[in-house]
A = this chain, B = another copy of it.
């Protein structure tokens, strides 16, 4: 990868093609130029809002491509050490602390990475544990050796019950397995000053990386949350950050015609205003499958809000749906083509796949099969992507395509920064707080109450006094 070369960089630019959002292509449901123009001022305001908020409040993430020089060196040195010392690397985290590492791992490592012989991998076996299912924890312990495992505990507050429960378990297990040396097996990624995990890290002398102020979970992939796991896997994190900076620069204009993140935000905003409450994210690449999961958190948690910044009640937010091309053509496309007009489909297309696979000739007496011979899988998947976009458009269904010239660190950095900016713009258009998540509090508090945490006695009483489920509604 030659991301320091300008021509190479320009050839690797991620683009947004929204032809199929327009009336001219998609018919009745499409937008007219004039309708996009009507939002010119609102779009410029959203752009300004984001530009002026840069680096402040919960917008610390905008600066991550630029302000981590020393941190990157520390990460690279640590990653090298981890690769030397450990056979397994396990991320303990949930939500933003897991989805980014998973997405990058799947996008940039071998699709059967853990099945490869150690000599064919750049790093240790890799697991991300983002649930508290006892069967899953037991399964993990069946396939790792604690004395050869490094655990990266990721939680900003150190109050994330799921991650801290995992921490209690693995710490206990490590102490039993390696005694005093347990501390060498844990790396903490957390807030520099506040919270519980930094306390524990100091008490136990864990190697620690900081989640900077102003970087919320779902905007944290380009800080040590994501960079350390990526570096452990041998990925080029400088190229990821360079990609993010490149996209930041591409998005420096306040106009839909020139800023892909703003274009995407405005189009989705317009679609939502017209009742398109479902947003399908459909990569045509197995490598990008989990990029949809990462995007889904970013989009759902940022935009799913019940109050505007002025305190006016609202219930906004588009439900992101994960699909995979071509696989889900045989699962979801029937619905997308014929069901309600309530969706926008975003394709993630790939210019050049990293492998080419010819389809041999054969079955010459069977035309349904023979026509495939002599083509490549690359041609087949590209044709199906194009054909699906065409079929949806013909059926009057809005869709647009984000193209990565290739899947690599640089384009992935671009894509993630593009989505982050798009989300920030969309939140500004809706005039909501893009960066909070008050709606998850109620569930957390009920969990505390059910588990008997001190201070939640009143909540427990509330739960105990809630109407009892009636047997007649259980079949």
Closest to A306 in B: B338
B439, A395: Cβ atoms closer than 8 Å: yes
In the complex the two chains form, what is the Cα distance from A304 to B339 in whole Å? 5
- Are the C-beta atoms of B469 and A17 separated by less than 8 Å? yes
User: Ordered nearest first, which 6 A-B pairs have the shortest CB separation?
Assistant: A304-B335, A95-B330, A317-B339, A387-B446, A337-B439, A297-B331
Q: Which residues of B contact A324 (CB under 8 A)?
A: 131
- Contact check, B96 vs A301: say whether CB atoms are below 8 A apart: no
Alpha-carbon separation in the docked complex, A437 to B448 (Å): 46
Task: A112 to B135: give the CA distance in the assembly, Å.
Answer: 11
A244 at the B interface (CB under 8 A): no
| Closest B residue by C-beta to A280 | B319
Chain B residues, Cβ within 8 Å of A120: 142
Q: Are A342 and B133 in contact (CB under 8 A)?
A: no
Binds B, one of A60-68, A76-84, A232-240, A451-459: A451-459
Smallest Cβ distance from A308 to chain B, in angstroms?
12
The complex places the Cα of A438 from the Cα of B333 at a distance, in Å, of 10
Residues of chain B within 8 A of A86, CB atoms compared: none
Structural contact, B196 and A443, CB atoms closer than 8 A: no
Specify the chain B residue showing the minimal Cβ separation from A36: B473
For this complex, 21 residue pairs linking A to B, each with C-beta atoms less than 8 Å apart, are A131-B286, A131-B381, A134-B378, A135-B285, A135-B355, A137-B355, A161-B384, A168-B360, A172-B360, A258-B475, A263-B475, A277-B278, A278-B319, A300-B331, A301-B332, A303-B335, A305-B339, A317-B339, A333-B443, A372-B451, A388-B443
- Indicate if the CB atoms of A134 and B381 lie closer than 8 Å: yes
Question: A139 to chain B: which residues have CB within 8 Å?
Answer: 110-112
A140: CB under 8 A from chain B? yes
Given A133-B377, A161-B380, A388-B446, 19 new contacts (CB under 8 A): A94-B326, A95-B330, A99-B331, A111-B140, A130-B330, A132-B380, A133-B286, A157-B368, A158-B369, A164-B363, A168-B372, A171-B362, A317-B340, A367-B453, A371-B452, A380-B447, A390-B443, A390-B446, A390-B466
B140 engages A112 (CB within 8 Å)? yes
B338 near A315: Cβ-Cβ < 8 Å:
yes
0/1 string, A206-243, CB within 8 A of B gives 1: 00000000000110000000000000000000000000
Q: Does A18 contact B (CB under 8 A)?
A: yes
Interface size of A as a range = 35 or more
A1 at the interface (CB under 8 A from B): no
Q: Nearest chain B CB to A212's CB is how many angstroms away?
A: 20
Distance (whole angstroms) from the CB of A149 to the closest CB of chain B:
13
Quick one: which of B284, B361, B386, B475 contacts A257, CB cutoff 8 A?
A: B475
Residues of B within 8 A of A115 (CB): 114-115, 125, 143
Q: Is A356 an interface residue (CB 8 A)?
A: yes
Q: Once the chains bind, are B377 and A134 in contact (CB under 8 Å)?
A: yes
A454 touches B164 (CB 8 A): no
Give min CB distance, A214 to chain B, whole Å. 19
Q: A158-B369, A286-B135 are in contact. Are A380 and B446 (CB under 8 A)?
A: no
- In the complex formed, the residue of B with least CB distance to A449 is B387
- From A133, A258, A301, A395, residue with most partner B Cβ within 10 Å: A133
Pick from A130, A171, A355, A359 the residue with the most CB of B within 10 Å: A359
Pick the contact of A165 from B263, B359, B439, B453 — CB < 8 Å? B359
Give the shortest distance, in Å, between A132 (CB) and chain B (any CB). 5
Q: Is A375 an interface residue (CB 8 A)?
A: yes
A349 to chain B, nearest CB (A): 12
Among A19-27, A50-58, A408-416, which stretch is in contact with chain B? Answer: A19-27
Cβ contact of A164, chosen from B301, B368, B440, cutoff 8 A: B368
B-chain residues with CB within 8 Å of residue A312 when the two chains form the complex:
none
Residues of B within 8 A of A140 (CB): 111-112
Distance of A109 from chain B, by nearest CB (Å): 10
